[in-house]
Amino acid sequence: MFVIEGKAKIVVENAFYNPRMRFCRDLDMLVFSVMGRHKILDALSATGVRGIRAILEADCEASFNDVNPKAVKTIKKNLEMNGIEAEIFCMDASILSRMKKFEHVDIDPFGSPANFIESACTHTKFLSVTATDLEALCCKSSAGLRKYSAFVLKTDVPHEIGLRTLLGFIARTALRFDKAVYPLICWVKEHYYRVHVVMKKSSSEVMKTIEKIGYIAFCKTCFSKKILKFGDNAEICHCGDKMVLIGPLWLGELKDVDFIQKMIQRSERKIRDFLLKIQKEIDYPLAYSLPKICSHISKPVPSTSKFVEKLKENGFIASSVHYCGYFVKTDADIKEIIKVLST
């Protein structure tokens, strides 16, 4: 049985293929093409569909790898079928990316990418990562500590925390190699997170990355949140409850504005709509769930877009988020949010 995806025609026997990830791969092809011509290691290839599409659609060179010999046979067939000659490895992705230098490493595992990140950071310039272990990243403290060395708990905005736990982990790992990290685009969709970053080995730029890592202090009672940098003191919440420290997390930007603009220029409608939502989102780390806050203060839930406008009229920065219709991002604190909700 064949599957046609983008410009690739592939067989999927004996290798994992998830048609639900097609939108992700469609977006990836735009990401890869805006990165410019380069060589990518599709480090956990399965059928090889992502690397094959990278060659056919994004003008990349690609190498393929899967630890499962059956998947490697499928990759070989798929390369032949698409008239492609390329290197194929059958190794643990961590060993391969540590041994050999690739300009770009793509990590697309079952579940957690945590164990692949350190090796991938060794040589690469571009790093692309998928995570589907969302509980460990956004709400389950023991799993978060085990896999990502970060304390997480369930807040009103789990995916904002989750994406920042993942990026925080990537950034802290890259720092061990004296690399600064700059996100190009990151998104949350359905059951997964996807992040694309560029890394620069530069002793003068690593400080910028260190400054973008810290904590979010969170109040479980009233959903108040505060940004805390390393060395800052935790405060008692205005409501009298204690605030809990979540992190370390990435507190910096989630996108490169010029990069997204170039993607938008090359995109087709469905993808463009998604990219426009990402573009509209302010780069600020604190988000709030309107229904949760409104339920706490017994007020009706306003339309997100109207509330965003109201916050802006009151002098705050504010936006919706790309991954949920009723979250807002804003630099207004919880007291100010409640005041605006009450007017």
Ligand X SMILES: C[S@@+](CC[C@H](N)C(=O)[O-])C[C@H]1O[C@@H](n2cnc3c(N)ncnc32)[C@H](O)[C@@H]1O
Site residues, Zn ion (CB under 5 A): 219, 221-222, 224, 237, 239, 241
Residue 50 interface partner, choices Zn ion, ligand X, none, CB cut-off 5-8 Å depending on type: ligand X
225 binds ligand X (CB under 6 A): no
- What DSSP character marks residue 236? B
What residue ranges in 176-323 does DSSP mark as E strands? 179-189, 192-201, 213-218, 225-229, 244-250, 287-289, 318-321
d(CA 186, CA 279): 11
∠ CA 60-255-131, nearest 5°, is: 70
110 contact choice in ligand X, Zn ion, none (CB below 5 to 8 Å, kind-dependent): ligand X
Decide whether 70 or 229 has the Cβ nearer to ligand X.
Answer: 70
With respect to Zn ion, which residue has the nearer C-beta, 96 or 237? 237
Cβ neighbours around 280 below 10 Å, total: 12
Of 14, 33, 68, 149, which lies in the binding site for ligand X, with binding defined by CB under 6 A? 68
Interaction mask 97-136, ligand X, x per CB under 6 A: -----------xxx--------------------------
**Contacting residue, 27, 41, 46, 60, with ligand X by CB under 6 A:** 46
Contact between 137 and 155 (Cβ < 8 Å): no
Start-to-end C-alpha separation, the chain? 60
Q: Tell whether residue 62 is a contact of ligand X (CB under 6 A).
A: no
> Which x/- pattern, by CB under 6 A, does the window 16-35 give for ligand X?
xx---x---x----------
With CB under 5 to 8 Å by kind, the binding choice for 239 among ligand X, Zn ion, none is: Zn ion
Closest by Cα among 304, 17, 323 to 164? 323
Contact 215, 228 (CB under 8 A): yes
Residue 243 interacts with ligand X (CB under 6 A)? Answer: no
Give the contacts of 310 (CB within 8 A, at least 6 positions apart): 302, 340, 343
Using rule CB under 6 A, residue 194 touches ligand X:
no
| Residue 222: both structure tokens together | 């009233």
Our finding on whether 213 is near ligand X (CB under 6 A) is: no
For ligand X, the closer of residues 135 and 253 by Cβ is 135
**Residues binding ligand X (CB under 6 A):** 15-17, 21, 25, 44-47, 49-50, 65-68, 71, 92-93, 108-110
